[in-house]
Amino acid sequence: MHTLPTTDRFRLLRASQQFAYDRAPAIRAVYQLAMMTPQDLQGPADLARLAVTSKDSLLDKQRQSPPFGGFLAADDTSIRRIYVSPGPVYEPHSFDEDTGKGFSHVFRQAGIGPGDRVLNTWSYHLVPAGLLLDAGIAATGATLIPCGPGGAEQQAQLIMELGITCICSSTSFFVTLVETLERMGYDLPSQWKVRSAMLGGELGDWMGKRRALEQKYAIRTFSAYATGDFGLIAYEELGQLGYTVQPDRLVQICDPHTGAPLPPGEPGQIVVTTLDSGWPLVRFGTGDVAQALAHSPDGLVERISLLQGRVGQGVKVREIFIYPRNVEELIIRIPAIERAQIIVEKKQHRETATLRAVLTPGASHYATQSDLIEVFRQLTRLRLDSVEWVIQEDMPIDAPLLVDNKQ
């Protein structure tokens, strides 16, 4: 990954934020609340003094001061598109964004270029996903087929007749496409030219599902983490865990309540600051939860884990947040358990976490319990207080993974 030196990133941030401070009243208000100016931004600790702006706060400000809530620093004439995300939240994108806000790098790294034919099934309607990927693909010199979502049979036909080499879709829609092709009588992978797929993430054993798809259909899968507000934030690198943060995005993993940066390995909200001076979001809370896997020399997060859920899904136990995703990962890592659930309670002024688990047939709870406690500690830094073994009938398949009974 190419990186900017520490001094360069914060020098560029000071310049872009000063431009915004002088032109965007909502940005100026963020600094005034912290009794700062952009020139005070010398490092991560200074950045952390600024309040986190949530999506809800952005929505409220846009309603109070339409259409952009006082966050736009660019001239109106520089806006190429205005996307509309659920809320609605309005997101301006400028004329100089000809690489899909960083997505060209994702596709080039995956080996996409001239001679490839890429089927893009993401929506082109109002939301930015389809057009951001479109721009990133076009920048590589590949040929693009702009389909959008739906119409599985028609898209399956296009895959075969146009000789598609790469598919961009959600994981579930990719499965729908290959199942449709197989129902149509095609023998995959021998009869198609697809060699890669950019897949959207999902909860559960997503990496396991991807590995199975790669093996069955002779493809390589890749992915990225992006939002409508920023475009590309982070992307997969071959041989690395999680997502590598692209250097134009300054990322911190923060306590969802206080906004304070958290130590490595502790899950928290992904908080992003951009170097874009036109739509200059600073300390913006994405609402997504992940862990910091590595930090760059300037103290900002360089790699994040796969997403673990959304803010609001977590439960705090003895100053540590745990999420439903932690329970899913525990089930994935311990084959001896079939189902699991964490119950959080408060007993005699102490918060406790109890794991309820269903064994797979033939497994021994004596051999499994110590593994459960240790793996959960690795996942969350929290030691379980107790483990309870239950039968399937006592834990329905749709039982919640995480229950907060502290009240």
Six token digits for residue 373: 């406690």
Q: Is the pLDDT of residue 5 over 70?
A: no
Residues 216-231, mean pLDDT to the nearest whole number: 94
For 6-97+230-310, CATH number out of 3.40.50.12780, 3.30.460.10, 3.30.2020.10, 1.50.10.20 equals: 3.40.50.12780
Residue range 315-404, CATH number: 3.30.300.30
Confirm if 235 and 244 have CB atoms less than 8 A apart: yes
Confirm if 277 and 71 have CB atoms less than 8 A apart: no
Quote the percentage of the chain above a pLDDT of 70: 96
Confirm if 330 and 323 have CB atoms less than 8 A apart: no
Six token digits for residue 362: 């033939």
Residue predicted with more confidence, 62 or 127: 62
Q: Give 82's strand partners.
A: 92
Residue 261 DSSP SS3? strand
pLDDT bucket at 97, cuts 50 / 70 / 90: low
Give me the pLDDT at residue 4, please: 56
Give me the pLDDT at residue 88, please: 86
Q: Is the pLDDT of residue 3 over 60?
A: no
The model carries a pTM of 0.83
User: What is the distance between the alpha carbons of residues 38 and 249, in angstroms, rounded to a whole number?
Assistant: 17
For 103-225, CATH number out of 1.10.1660.10, 3.20.20.80, 3.40.50.12780, 1.10.1740.10 equals: 3.40.50.12780
Q: Which residues, other chains included, contact 379 with Cβ-Cβ below 8 Å and sequence gap of 6+?
A: 326, 329, 330
User: What is the distance between the alpha carbons of residues 173 and 196, in angstroms, rounded to a whole number?
Assistant: 15
Q: Are strands 220-222 and 386-389 parallel, antiparallel or unpaired?
A: unpaired
Q: Is the pLDDT of residue 256 over 50?
A: yes
User: What is the distance between the alpha carbons of residues 310 and 290, in angstroms, rounded to a whole number?
Assistant: 9
Give me the pLDDT at residue 143, please: 98
Mark out the alpha helices in 6-94 (DSSP H runs). 6-23, 25-33, 44-47, 55-64
pLDDT bucket at 139, cuts 50 / 70 / 90: very high
Give me the pLDDT at residue 8, please: 87
Domain with CATH 3.40.50.12780 in the chain: 6-97+230-310, 103-225
Quote the percentage of the chain above a pLDDT of 90: 70
Give me the pLDDT at residue 1, please: 46
pLDDT bucket at 127, cuts 50 / 70 / 90: confident
Residue predicted with more confidence, 239 or 130: 130
Mark out the alpha helices in 122-259 (DSSP H runs). 129-139, 152-161, 171-183, 206-217
Chain CA centroid to CA 319, Å? 24
Residue 341 DSSP SS3? strand
Give me the pLDDT at residue 154, please: 96
Judged on CB neighbours under 10 Å (0-12, 13-18, 19+), 164 is buried
Six token digits for residue 132: 């951001």
Instruction: Give the tens place of pLDDT for each residue, 292-315.
Output: 999 999 999 999 999 888 888 888
Give me the pLDDT at residue 316, please: 83
pLDDT bucket at 401, cuts 50 / 70 / 90: very high
Domain with CATH 3.30.300.30 in the chain: 315-404
Instruction: Give the tens place of pLDDT for each residue, 169-220.
Output: 999 999 999 999 999 999 999 999 999 999 998 766 788 899 999 999 999 9
User: What is the distance between the alpha carbons of residues 272 and 83, in angstroms, rounded to a whole number?
Assistant: 19
Give me the pLDDT at residue 7, please: 56
